[in-house]
């Protein structure tokens, strides 16, 4: 019997067997704010407004207005669940992703007959075509600019087709065949390819792939310098699941789609064109973003014209996420950990044992670094590691340094360090006037006009909670007796 190829459905079958990791409901849900509003309580986590929780991934089988679709949310909204999906210790997922980048498995092309994502075809030229009635894209809040695709992997290539890339962007359904896509300036390979097309005033063919296994969605969020221009992150996904990602030529556009996705939107990015993101609502907002605030609507997002939509026959799954949820942390934070570990490991090997991009920073703004000092010559190396972390990921804002006896995944342990191994007058480093993430609302010129010249600049912070090596004997934790068979008392 041939084993089922790896895809989202295979992952979900595995999740159903794990207690507390999966829940589905047949109760009708409105995708307009209600769906996200429900999951906010049950499993969103992250920087979502309290009350929230870390809970199961949820499948909504009865979506109002979309009887033939299902909506899945929160598959990666738990780092422990991501570890279970990838069959790896959740505490060392950064190292796992590093190994995947170093040992890539390239995608393999299949025919349309082998691609479940192309079982059903809708052409934008059909008289009744309307993406807003076809795709059950939710809104996160009542202020959103419209229904958003939040878990769509954009797949495109350079004009000469020698380089390709996958990335995730926020995409709002603007009209029956039009999507507004925000491509953040700088660092996105898709943006570099788009410039080539715009210089020739030609539309750029892309596919938007929805309903994917987490190896793909996590791998797709790698950024330079870890994955340089032209490095297709589907190779990372192939390595994470030890099976190549299957891709297939588009039906209507000259671009590849991910063959085992649930949906593929085939489209073109229009050259040198933009539109108001909230053109249908004029609310001033886009959607909630990872810092926990509503993102400001962009006055000039890229215009995407749809050519075709294909999907699976059997109740295709629309995969979505809440912007500030812990799911975003998993997708953005774990690859960032890998990038930091890679760069720091090359520069000062053996000194940074592990890295955690905590939910409080949305996966991008904060990292906790576990430092190992072997002798007096290592004193100060921890601050060098912090500077390297900032260079590995420009959107990083805060670094907390702790010793190797501290559990970086336990906030009580980290804060204990700051309270007992830290003096503010000597253990704080502030780096002024650096580039950061424009979605942080504190990074506005009117917040700090002396240091923030333009939006997206920041003063960066290092909290050094490591013990000076020559004073280490004064900071030994209480030594409890080691009991090898302690678990028997729980039987």
Give catalytic residues, as residue numbers.
Answer: 289
Q: How far apart are CA 148 and CA 413, in angstroms?
A: 38
Residues 399, 367 contacting (CB under 8 angstroms): yes
Q: How far apart are CA 5 and CA 3, in angstroms?
A: 6
Residues 352, 345 contacting (CB under 8 angstroms): yes
Q: How far apart are CA 190 and CA 48, in angstroms?
A: 29
Cβ contacts of residue 443 below 8 Å, gap of 6+? Answer: 436, 437, 452, 455, 456, 457, 458
Cis-peptide into 354, omega within 30 deg: no
Q: How far apart are CA 343 and CA 349, in angstroms?
A: 9
Helices (H) and strands (E) in the chain, counts: 12, 23
- In the numeric block, which tokens belong to residue 267? 């489209």
- In the numeric block, which tokens belong to residue 427? 């253990």
Residues 23, 33 contacting (CB under 8 angstroms): no
CA atoms within 13 A on the CB side of 483: 7
Residues 171, 121 contacting (CB under 8 angstroms): no
The one-character DSSP state at 134 is: H
Burial (CB count within 10 angstroms: exposed 0-12, middle 13-18, buried 19+), residue 170: buried
Helix (H) or strand (E) holding 131: helix 131-134
Q: How far apart are CA 449 and CA 443, in angstroms?
A: 10
Q: How far apart are CA 329 and CA 331, in angstroms?
A: 6
Alpha-carbon dihedral of residues 419, 436, 153, 336, nearest 10 degrees? -40
Cβ contacts of residue 485 below 8 Å, gap of 6+? Answer: none
């Amino acid at each position: 019997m041939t084993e089922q190829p790896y895809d989202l459905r295979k992952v979900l079958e595995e999740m159903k067997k794990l207690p507390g990791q999966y829940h589905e409901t047949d109760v009708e849900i409105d995708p307009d704010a209600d769906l996200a509003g429900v999951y906010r309580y049950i499993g969103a986590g992250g920087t979502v407004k309290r009350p929230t929780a870390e809970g199961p991934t949820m499948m909504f089988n009865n979506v109002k207005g979309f009887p033939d679709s299902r909506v899945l949310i929160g598959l990666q909204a738990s780092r422990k669940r991501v570890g279970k999906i990838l069959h790896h210790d959740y505490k060392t997922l950064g190292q796992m992703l590093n190994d995947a980048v170093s040992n890539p498995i390239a995608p393999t092309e299949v025919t349309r007959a082998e691609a479940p994502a192309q079982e059903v075809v809708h052409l934008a030229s059909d008289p009744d075509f309307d993406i807003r009635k076809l795709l059950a894209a939710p809104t996160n809040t009542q202020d959103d600019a419209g229904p958003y695709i939040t878990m769509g992997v954009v797949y495109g290539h350079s004009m000469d087709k020698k380089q390709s890339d996958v990335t995730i962007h926020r995409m709002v359904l603007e009209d029956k065949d039009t999507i507004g896509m925000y491509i953040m300036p700088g660092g996105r390979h898709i943006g570099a390819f788009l410039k080539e097309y715009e210089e020739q005033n030609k539309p750029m063919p892309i596919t938007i792939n929805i309903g994917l296994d987490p190896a793909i969605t996590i791998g797709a969020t790698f950024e330079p310098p870890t994955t340089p221009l032209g490095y297709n992150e589907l190779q990372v996904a192939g390595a994470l699941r030890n099976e190549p990602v299957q891709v297939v030529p588009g039906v209507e556009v000259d671009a590849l789609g991910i063959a085992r996705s649930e949906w593929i939107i085939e489209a073109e990015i229009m050259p040198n064109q933009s539109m108001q993101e909230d053109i249908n609502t004029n609310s001033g907002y886009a959607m909630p973003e990872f810092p926990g605030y509503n993102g400001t609507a962009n006055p000039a997002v890229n215009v995407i014209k749809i050519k075709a939509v294909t999907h699976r026959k059997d109740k295709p799954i629309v995969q979505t996420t809440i912007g500030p949820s812990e799911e975003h942390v998993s997708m953005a934070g774990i690859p960032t950990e890998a990038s930091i570990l890679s760069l720091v490991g090359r520069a000062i090997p053996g000194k940074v044992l592990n890295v955690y991009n905590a939910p409080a920073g949305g996966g991008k703004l904060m990292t906790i670094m576990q430092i190992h000092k072997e002798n007096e010559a290592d004193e100060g190396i921890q601050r060098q590691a912090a500077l390297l972390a900032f260079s590995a990921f420009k959107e990083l804002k805060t670094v907390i340094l702790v010793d190797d006896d501290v559990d970086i995944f336990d906030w009580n342990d980290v804060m204990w360090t700051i309270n007992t191994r830290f003096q503010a007058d000597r253990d704080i480093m502030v780096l002024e006037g650096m580039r950061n993430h424009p979605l942080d609302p504190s990074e506005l010129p009117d917040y700090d006009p002396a240091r923030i010249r333009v939006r997206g600049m920041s003063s960066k912070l290092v909290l050094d909670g490591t013990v000076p090596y020559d004073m280490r004997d004064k900071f030994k934790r209480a030594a409890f007796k080691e009991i090898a068979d302690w678990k028997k008392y729980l039987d």
